[in-house]
């Protein structure tokens, strides 16, 4: 029996980008959703908090999608899978590079914030260290930093030299034990940690996003 050969073939893709806030706003955010989420839903908190006229927010959507409910025909997106990581990451990085360039064209000279939620925090951390781009803050929300990412290098991608963590007090994924262990490991590596918690689970929180905006934006 002849062996099966598998090739990786580059093709042109059409990606999904959700955005809110006026073009020309001084501050710019890139926000990366978690697994099985869609960008248009994920970006919703930024449409509700104050100061919308002062920020341009881009929410790129992961390039891979899956059906979540066949009867309702709902789908979710993701950034990468473990078996296909070698081909997923270059595609994701190229997509995020294009979004960062668009953010620079559409936002002014104010703050730049990179926020990743859940699986989005993993791709945010990997992409941030793979590039030399400097952010005002890198926010890891309800997720973690992958083992192949040097936390000191990640902290160096933020102007304040810190890693910002946001975690719900009842998060079933980023539990209190995992949160404390991650903070201790980061501090042991000499990294400054800025932790925000809120009364909630594995989700975004409007009040916490608003507090981050107040702290980080110019």
Kindly give the confidence (pLDDT) of every residue in the chain, 218 residues in length, as a single tens digit, with 9 standing for 90 and above.
889 998 888 888 899 999 999 999 999 999 999 999 999 999 999 999 999 999 999 999 999 988 888 888 888 999 988 888 888 899 999 999 999 999 999 999 999 999 999 999 999 999 999 999 999 999 999 998 999 999 999 999 999 999 999 999 999 988 989 999 999 999 999 999 999 999 999 999 999 999 999 999 97
Domain ranges of the chain: 27-216
The pLDDT score that the predictor gives to residue 158 is 96
Helix H segments across 17-173? 39-42, 85-106, 119-130, 151-156
Distance, CA of 167 to chain centre: 14
With beta carbons less than 8 A apart as the criterion, state whether 33 and 54 touch.
no
CA-to-CA distance for 42 and 61, rounded, in angstroms? 9
Q: Which of 212, 210, 177 lies closest to 194, judged by CA? A: 212
The pLDDT score that the predictor gives to residue 83 is 82
The pLDDT score that the predictor gives to residue 85 is 86
Token pair 């030299």 in the structure block, residue: 161
Could you tell me the two tokens for 3?
Answer: 């062996």
CATH of 27-216, one of 3.40.50.1820, 3.40.50.1240, 3.20.10.10, 3.40.640.10: 3.40.50.1820
Q: Which of 126, 127, 138, 186 lies closest to 166, judged by CA? A: 138
Burial of 150 (0-12, 13-18, 19+ CB in 10 A): middle
């Amino acid at each position: 029996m002849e062996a099966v050969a598998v090739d990786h073939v580059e093709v042109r893709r059409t990606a999904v980008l959700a955005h809110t806030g006026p073009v020309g706003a001084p501050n710019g955010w890139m926000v990366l959703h978690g697994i099985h989420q869609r960008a248009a839903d994920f970006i919703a908190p930024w449409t509700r908090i104050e100061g919308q006229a002062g920020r341009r927010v881009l929410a790129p959507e992961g390039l891979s999608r899956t059906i979540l409910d066949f009867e309702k025909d709902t789908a979710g997106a993701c950034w990468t899978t473990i078996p296909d990581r070698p081909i997923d990451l270059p595609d994701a990085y190229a997509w995020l590079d294009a979004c960062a360039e668009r953010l620079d064209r559409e936002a002014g000279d104010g703050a730049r914030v990179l926020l990743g939620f859940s699986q989005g925090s993993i791709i945010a951390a990997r992409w941030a260290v793979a590039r030399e781009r400097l952010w005002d803050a890198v926010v890891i929300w309800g997720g973690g930093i992958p083992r192949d990412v040097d936390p000191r290098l990640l902290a160096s991608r933020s102007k304040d030299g810190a890693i910002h963590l946001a975690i719900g007090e009842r998060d079933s994924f980023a539990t209190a034990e995992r949160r404390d262990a991650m903070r201790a490991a980061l501090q042991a590596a000499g990294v400054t940690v800025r932790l925000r918690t809120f009364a909630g689970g594995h989700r975004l929180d409007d009040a916490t996003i608003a507090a981050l905006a107040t702290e980080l934006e110019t």
